[in-house]
Amino acid sequence: MITAFKEAEKNLQKNGFLDIPVDVRLDLFAEIARLKKEKKAVVLAHYYQEPDIQDVADYIGDSLGLAQAAAKTDADMIVFAGVHFMAETAKILNPGKKVLLPDLKAGCSLADSAPPALFEKFKAKYPDHIVISYINCSAGIKALSDIICTSSNAEKIIESVPKDQPIIFAPDRNLGAYLQKKTGRDMVLWNGACMVHEIFSLEKILNLKAKHPGAKVIAHPECEAPILEVADFIGSTTGLLKFSHKDPAQEFIVVTETGILHQMQKENPNKTFIPAPPNNACACNDCPHMKLNTLEKLYLCMEYEQPEITMEENLRLAAKKPIDRMLEISAAAGL
Ligand code: SF4
């Protein structure tokens, strides 16, 4: 096993995870529970993770909830079942703790659409603007931002800025356009997008709606404008979950990543949730980055404490300021 570990460690950067065979007879749920106790570890999972991972998590949430949970945990080790920028955010808030990500290659097309060097040049063109960045961005972009937001708190964050203050919004152009329309604010948008939310098919959603006339279409604001126009409700992942619980409708067409359906179905066993199809041959829309994490990789990273997120201290401090600002504004707004 020592040789297998050494070999896997050597290939960690290439593979993104410790590629060590896991005994199929192991009860991974019990093993993960044991490791949590032994290592005083907390497992934070995004709603887009596979159901088994959600079921072993200590906290399941969207980006805002996860950042808040990461900010207040007293665990020694944070195991982040999500994508790289989320684990980075946890590290920014917890420099003294070990932060693990089951697969280092779990990236994000939206975060990748804003390289810090290019964004810095873009920002220089608008010296009077302040930068509000969606949390789905790298630490480098956070360090160039004044305030971070999530889809749960974006409107409140924008409202906290004086009305005559122009804003650069990055990196998601769809969320930015939606917020611009909602708040009527003077905003310049960075041209980034999420590969999952960009490819929903309006035609297929309308066909589904015709087949299920009682169903409500609920969509995440990262979707493109024509999709949002036909939605009965637009909200963050947590917002969609809450709406599906409270609303009397019995059927919902869910226009976001399919991982959220697990919690929706658990909370509402008698309601029907239909994943909205993308404009390709698939019937539902999974984020390939989020789905790189598996229960096996989660177990391996807890057992061997790798891959670990590390960060240069100056970058961490610069990236922390706009996150702290977000957490303060959210707390004041009761979010
Ligand atoms: S769903 Fe989109 S924004 Fe979320 S992690 Fe995947 S690529 Fe990034």
Domains in the chain with CATH codes? 2-106+290-311 (3.40.50.10800), 110-194+316-332 (3.40.50.10800), 202-275 (3.40.50.10800)
What's this model's pTM, rounded to 2 decimal places? Answer: 0.92
Residue 177: closest CA among 161, 197, 201, 163: 197
pLDDT tens-digit readout, 184-210: 999 999 999 999 999 999 999 999 999
Whether 83 lines ligand 1, by a CB cut-off of 6 Å, is yes
Contact 145, 131 (CB under 8 A): yes
pLDDT at 59 exceeding the cut of 90: yes
* pLDDT score of 280: 82
Binding site listing: 46, 63, 108, 134-136, 151, 194, 220-222, 237, 287
Under the banding of pLDDT at 50, 70 and 90, the label for residue 45 is very high
| Pocket flag, ligand 1, residue 194 (CB < 6 Å) | yes
Shortest-distance Cα residue to atom 2 of ligand 1: 194
Indicate whether residue 87 lines ligand 1 (CB < 6 A): no
With 0-12 CB in 10 A as exposed, 13-18 as middle and 19+ as buried, what is 61?
buried
Closest CA to 299 of 16, 2, 26: 26
- Residue 283: is its pLDDT beyond 90? no
| Amino acid, single-letter form, for residue 249 | A
**Pairwise CA distance, residues 320 & 1, whole Å:** 39
Output the CA torsion sign for 187, 142, 46, 24: positive
pLDDT grade for 166, boundaries at 50, 70 and 90: very high
Distance 66 CA to ligand 1 centre (A): 15
Ligand 1 neighbour 86 (Cβ under 6 A):
no
Q: How far apart are CA 191 and CA 175, in angstroms?
A: 11
Quote the pLDDT of residue 115.
98
For position 194, what pLDDT does the model report? 92
Whether 253 contacts 274, CB under 8 Å? yes
pLDDT in tens, 100-142: 999 999 999 999 999 999 999 999 999 999 999 999 999 999 9
Count the neighbouring beta carbons within 10 Å of the beta carbon of residue 234: 21
